[in-house]
Structure 1
């Protein structure tokens, strides 16, 4: 790996700090610096701009959905039926600086969490506003190799973020290396990553330059030859618990596919979450045609599947195994069906509160919306021969039916 040098010598951490401070304190706008001038400003002292690269294998990609939200107010007429309206915008002089895009240059922004993608809408994210949230997946039949991705891993990422594992692996790699240049690279990577988790729009020109460098300047502008098409960084609006994605738009068009669209309304904005109402569900077919369905949270029409009942001692009973076991509620033996109905009644509020569907499930939406419960149940005892189990939890899956709406314009 190439080192970072100042005057042809490896720099210290304190020199990195000083450079980052000077770089961010530079007046990028008086006069406005163009891209070449920003590049010269950066490389005056540092010979290289680098971030760690991870490779998204097929197993990771198949479990990963990228969510991209757009305010419903931005849609006109029948735009919600237009597949192209859910992807990256076209390059335009009207595009301003973003955290990961240079002015005029379009980038496909998304998040691995649906709610986080809505929160990123900033001033549009408030009670009563509606959004279309597109769910994108990778076209596996077009991808033969792992996807190289630049990743910015700030030390501020909480343990609850599943991408934290990559940070730990990189730390292990650096700790096992005795090469000074790599240690300096590690420190610079952390400092650059910190720039992306600070809620300071004044730094957008700096972060936009860095993102543009990785997504465009280091890549040939043809999809088949894009070397590193993804830049992954923590989402500020989710308190760093999710990751945002800045994706080369050509790569997104070539290797990503819109599969579902959720039309939602914010009913109560909270500090770290939100209560939402799911208005419509859009299904995208292989020809990129979009059909919309109305969600009907009618508890009488729910599809339920009891996965298992588990005791605190570790003993677990499947739905089939429960047929030969006594289920006791308040001294009375009840059936498996009665247990399911009791559980549904206990959790009725959660079934009709679509806050629980965030992040949205990865399931076959032509049947319905799937919600998984894994909860402690009180007042229920299981008698297995001479043994009784009372400290129980229950896992269930519930599917809320959906109804096709042939003409969305007449409904919303």
Structure 2
């Protein structure tokens, strides 16, 4: 809790600062840059104009995180998909600059549903003839608390059910403060959050968005973000993505099952898609057993209905091709 509310800018100051940020732009990251120094440069550029800026964190227990966690990899000969690691975050040496990470600082990229995860991997590239592995993950049940943070204060698609999280945050802007913020300061914080969160969509070279995520996920303090949520560009903000701390993945998550699929068609505007399932992977005593699809396999049908439930209508029927 803090009482230094005078350090938070009002709405007019924030609007002027945002205009200045847009005019000047943000530094572009080079692989020769020191990451900590680069992030500090970004932070300083913000604080010089606005003073302190808050991060709204949500401590959660695993039982209070009801969302799916899905990750997708294109199947290539260079990856061993019989190992969990082949479906997890990339090795340090192969980690490049991304929307939420710097080189050699991996994060576990995932989505709340398998189709959003698939669209993020496919992007605008040709997908015909390629096979992809969808992995379904979960947080291990425990009484431990982890830190969740969302960056959803932006123009979400009307079909995005996570808009409720964005609205809830706006309604709770005053909660961390012992003394209530003025209306102008409250509006200023909301305006700043909208600008910051929009960078996870508009930052095309990833330098700024990676800085925002890195200072939260790789921070050198006890309140680092374990799971960061942001809008999915590839689904036109209909879905959300997750950037998860690798240490959290190693200590608090596990993979449940896998699907090998081909994407036949995908329409971003409507969200409609056609996929072919080739096989699925079930885990028994740490071994992945791959099973071909056949009509009598009720376990396969059960898994698909669980993992793809948001896309399955009441009259859905399985179509098996010999």
- Superposition TM-score tier, normalisation by shorter sequence: 0.7 to 0.9
- Flag the 1:67–1:113 CA change in 2: closer, same or farther, 3 A: same
Name the counterpart of 2:275.
Answer: 276
Name the counterpart of 2:226.
Answer: 229
Name the counterpart of 1:374.
Answer: 314
- Flag the 1:22–1:147 CA change in 2: closer, same or farther, 3 A: farther
Name the counterpart of 1:206.
Answer: 208
Residue deviations 1:355-393, cap 9 Å, x none? xx9x94327xxxxx9x96425xxxxxxxxxxxxxxxxxx
Q: Which is greater in Rg?
A: 1
Which one of the candidate residues 190, 196, 200 is aligned to 2:194?
190
More strand by share: 1
Greater relative contact order (CA < 8 Å, ≥ 6 in sequence)? 2
Kindly indicate whether the alpha-carbon contact (under 8 Å) linking 1:135 and 1:261 is maintained by their aligned counterparts in 2: yes
Name the counterpart of 1:113.
Answer: 113
Matches within 5 A, 1:23-102: 25-28=25-28, 33-35=33-35, 36-46=37-47, 47-61=51-65, 63-73=66-76, 75-76=78-79, 79-92=80-93, 94-102=94-102
SS in 1 for 2:225: coil
- Flag the 1:302–1:284 CA change in 2: closer, same or farther, 3 A: closer
Name the counterpart of 1:256.
Answer: 253
Residue deviations 1:248-284, cap 9 Å, x none? 0010011011001110011223334431100110012
Name the counterpart of 2:287.
Answer: 289
- For 2:278 and 2:144, the matched residues in 1 are separated by 38
Q: Does residue 361 of the first structure (1) align with residue 305 of the second (2)?
A: yes
Kindly indicate whether the alpha-carbon contact (under 8 Å) linking 1:302 and 1:398 is maintained by their aligned counterparts in 2: no
Q: CA deviation at 1:231?
A: 0.9
Kindly indicate whether the alpha-carbon contact (under 8 Å) linking 2:201 and 2:231 is maintained by their aligned counterparts in 1: yes
TM value normalised by structure 1? 0.64
Kindly indicate whether the alpha-carbon contact (under 8 Å) linking 1:267 and 1:275 is maintained by their aligned counterparts in 2: yes
Q: Could you tell me which runs of 5 or more consecutive residues in structure 2 were left unpaired when the two chains were aligned.
A: none
Q: CA deviation at 1:187?
A: 1.7
Name the count of aligned residue pairs. Answer: 302
Kindly indicate whether the alpha-carbon contact (under 8 Å) linking 2:39 and 2:215 is maintained by their aligned counterparts in 1: no
More displaced stretch, 176-185 vs 163-172: 176-185
- For 1:96 and 1:16, the matched residues in 2 are separated by 31
- For 2:281 and 2:250, the matched residues in 1 are separated by 19
Kindly indicate whether the alpha-carbon contact (under 8 Å) linking 2:69 and 2:113 is maintained by their aligned counterparts in 1: yes
- For 2:83 and 2:31, the matched residues in 1 are separated by 40
Q: CA deviation at 1:167?
A: 1.6
Kindly indicate whether the alpha-carbon contact (under 8 Å) linking 1:108 and 1:247 is maintained by their aligned counterparts in 2: yes
TM value normalised by structure 2? 0.81
SS in 2 for 1:161: coil
- Flag the 1:266–1:75 CA change in 2: closer, same or farther, 3 A: farther
